[in-house]
Amino acid sequence: MREKRRRFLVRIIRNILFPYEVSDVYEEELIGEFENQLEEKYFYEFLDLIGSNSLILDLACGDGRHTSKLSKNTRHVFALDLSSNNLKMAKKKCLANQNVSFIRGSMFSLSFRRSVFNGIWFSQAFEYVPPDMRERFLTLLRQVLKPRGILYMSVESWMYPSFWKSLREFLSDLVLFCYWRVVKRKPLLWGEFLYYLSINGIRSRYSGWHYHVHTDKWTLIKLLNKCRFKILKLDLYNGYIYLLCRKTQE
C-alpha cells in the first residue's frame, strides 16, 4: 500500500500541472483581482502585520494574481510556482516591478535558508497538499519564516457557513472519494478526490480528471497548533477557510 501510494502521489503532482500549463487567461479576467471582499481584507491585514520593509514568499504564485500588488507594498517578493506557463504569465504581468524574483520550484521542496521571510502568502493551493504531507509541508513553511513571521492561507473546504450547504458538499466529496477509493481502487486518504475538468473555451484547453483535497476547520486548527502556528484570525466563507497565523517561539 505504501509503494502504491507513493506512485499515486507522483502521478497526482503531474496531473495537477496539466491545466495550468495550457492556461492562457489571467485569473483576474475570470474572478477579479481578489476572490471576494474577505480575501481582499485579509490581504491588507497580512501586509499590515508584516510591515513595508519585509521579504515575502508568494508561494504557488500562479499567474501572479497577487504578486504585483504584494511587491508594491513591501521590500521584495519571491514568487514560486511549479508551472513554467504560470511563471511566464506572472513575469509578463510584473514587468514593471523591480523587486520581484521568480523561481520555478515545488512548494514541497523549498531551497531557501532558514528564517528568511517575514511573511508567506499562500492562496488557494493547500487543496494540492495531500493529507499525509501536510505536517511536513507546514514544517517547511515554519522553517523559512522568521521568528513571529506571518502565514496567510486560504484553504478549500467542504464547510460553509450554512449547515445544509456544508452537508451537501460533504456528501458530494464522500461520493467522489468512495468512487475513486472503492470502485477505481486508488490509494486515497479521506478528503482526497478527483473531479472532471472540461474544456470551457475560456480558462484553458485542458480536459481530464483533476486532484483536490478538502479539509475541515477543526482538522486544520489541530494541524496548525501541532506545527506551532498561532491562529490570529479565521473565517469560513464560500467553501474556503481563510487564516492568518503567526509562527510561535521555538
Residue 52 gets the label, from left (phi > 0), alpha (psi -120 to 50) or beta, of alpha
| Confidence band of 250 (pLDDT split at 50, 70, 90) | low
pLDDT of residue 202: 46
The H or E element that residue 128 is part of is: none
Q: Summarize the chain as % helix, strand, coil (round to 5).
A: 40, 25, 35
> Closest Cα partner for 2 from 182, 106, 132, 176?
132
pLDDT of residue 216: 96
> Is the pLDDT assigned to residue 29 strictly greater than 80?
no
Largest alpha-carbon pair distance within the chain? 53
pTM for this model (two decimals) = 0.93
The DSSP string of 94-116 is: TTT-TTEEEEE--TTS--SPTT-
DSSP secondary-structure letter at 191? T
Residues 6+ apart with CB under 8 A from 224: 138, 231, 243, 245
Query: What are the tens digits of pLDDT across the range 220-232?
Result: 999 999 999 999 9
Q: Please state, in angstroms and rounded to a whole number, the distance separating the CA atoms of residues 225 and 44.
A: 24
Which domain does 65 fall in, by range? 2-247
> Is the pLDDT assigned to residue 75 strictly greater than 90?
yes
Q: Please state, in angstroms and rounded to a whole number, the distance separating the CA atoms of residues 88 and 233.
A: 33
91-95, 115-119, 122-126, 138-142, range with the lowest pLDDT: 91-95
Domains identified in the chain, total number: 1
* CB atoms inside a 10 Å sphere around CB 36: 14
- Identify residue 54 by its one-letter amino acid code: S
- Provide the grid cell at 186: 486508488
- As to burial, measured by CB atoms within 10 angstroms (0-12 exposed, 13-18 middle, 19+ buried), residue 92 is exposed
User: What is the domain-level CATH number for residue 116?
Assistant: 3.40.50.150
- Provide the grid cell at 239: 467553501
Number of continuous H segments (helices) and E segments (strands) in the chain: 8, 9
